[in-house]
Amino acid sequence: MSSATIYKKSRLVAPLVLILAVAACSKDPAQPEASNPAANAPAAAKPVAPEQAVSSQVKALNTDQLRESAANALRENRIYAPAGDNAMEYYLALRDKQPDDPGVNSALTDLLPYTLIAAEQSIGREEFEEAQRLSAIIEKTDPNAPALPRLKQSIEAAQAAVAQRAVAKEEKAEQDKRLAEQQRLAQQAEEQKAKEAAAAAEVARQQEAARAEAARKQAAEQAATETPKPAATAAAKPAAPPPAPAAPVLRVVSAPAPRYPAEALRAGTGGEVLVEFTVATDGSVSSARVVRSNPARVFDREALNATKRWKFEPISEPVTTRRTIGFNPGE
């Protein structure tokens, strides 16, 4: 087949090529659509040299095979893809074998814009290996193509952006990991602090309970060892005259128990009060005072109030005596 025939055929298929190429501008039918191009495409693709734009299998075909393959590729809209089986590679290999064929050169000129569009679309999808391959085809077709420098810069810029995005994503993941670890450690420290506070509170509670129990036992022991006397002689006073030879005997008619102070009872506090009082001839208590108390001033008022309510059998003369009143929370 002559070069003129090829040229005529290329002109006949040009309208078909135009229609199919317009469709290819919106979507490349020869390339599968990637669901996640950023994840599937490499961060950086090595540039393809122009001499590598045509596969070795295509270069091995003779001129007749190249013409037939190019015509079939055009009919099936395989203008620039897939690699190794597209019209651009077949025409480039045919031009290498017949550089002066006007039909081949015209076909390459007509198909070049669509290859450029496909390269830009590959960049947009971040399919950099495909973009490099198409860039090599464009450069082999026309090393002085005006759009070629811009295309190469776009590929490099897009690769750099993907690499930068990957670094930023990795840094963000590392930052999130550090933040999560800090939050975990802070939560762990708070939990440990809460456990220590609870343990300290429990120890303090146990110590307070032990002190209260010890005080209760001590008060009970003191009350058990104290033997109240039914009557006692009046305290000796330096200036007082000696007591009568036979003091009247006090016989109790009524001796109400003292009221236990509410606060002392709640605290489990025990103690005792030594009261000195005077019994009148009619058996009533005419006066009373606190000689000593333990603990001081806790049970004094209730001890005096109870003493003043005591009643004895009538006696011949007033008698002053002392008695110890015990307070035991356990009783």
Residue 179 in domain? no
Residue 223 in domain? no
Residue numbers of the chain with a pLDDT score lower than 50: 1-35, 37-38, 41, 227, 229, 231-237
Ranges of H-type helices in the chain: 3-26, 37-40, 56-59, 63-75, 87-97, 102-124, 128-141, 147-225, 262-267, 300-308
Same domain for 149 and 286, yes or no, is no
Same domain for 160 and 259, yes or no, is no
The fraction of the chain above a pLDDT of 90, given in percent, is 67
Among 141, 167, 193, the domain-final residue is 167
Residue 185 in domain? no
CATH no. for residue 323?
A: 3.30.2420.10
Same domain for 153 and 260, yes or no, is no
Give the chain's largest Cα–Cα span: 168
Residue 204 in domain? no
**DSSP-assigned states of every residue in 274-318:** EEEEEE-TTSBEEEEEEEEEESTTTSHHHHHHHHHT-EE---SS-
Residue 36 in domain? yes
* Domain encompassing residue 38: 3-167
Q: CA torsion sign, 28 to 29 to 30 to 36?
A: positive
Same domain for 36 and 163, yes or no, is yes
Q: What is the CA radius of gyration of the chain?
A: 58
Residue 102 in domain? yes
pLDDT of residue 242: 58
Query: If we measure between CA atoms, which residue out of 78, 106, 112 comes closest to residue 94?
Result: 106
- 218-255 pLDDT, tens digit per residue, is 878 877 765 454 544 444 445 555 555 567 899 999 99
Local structure of 251: helix, strand or coil: coil
The model carries a pTM of: 0.46
pLDDT of residue 212: 86
Residue 208 in domain? no
Among 167, 183, 208, the domain-final residue is 167
Among 136, 152, 167, the domain-final residue is 167
Average pLDDT of every residue of the chain: 84
pLDDT of residue 239: 57
Residue 199 in domain? no
| Amino acid identity, position 294 | N
Query: If we measure between CA atoms, which residue out of 304, 252, 250 comes closest to residue 273?
Result: 304
Local structure of 71: helix, strand or coil: helix
Same domain for 33 and 149, yes or no, is yes
Same domain for 29 and 148, yes or no, is yes
- Total domains, the chain: 2
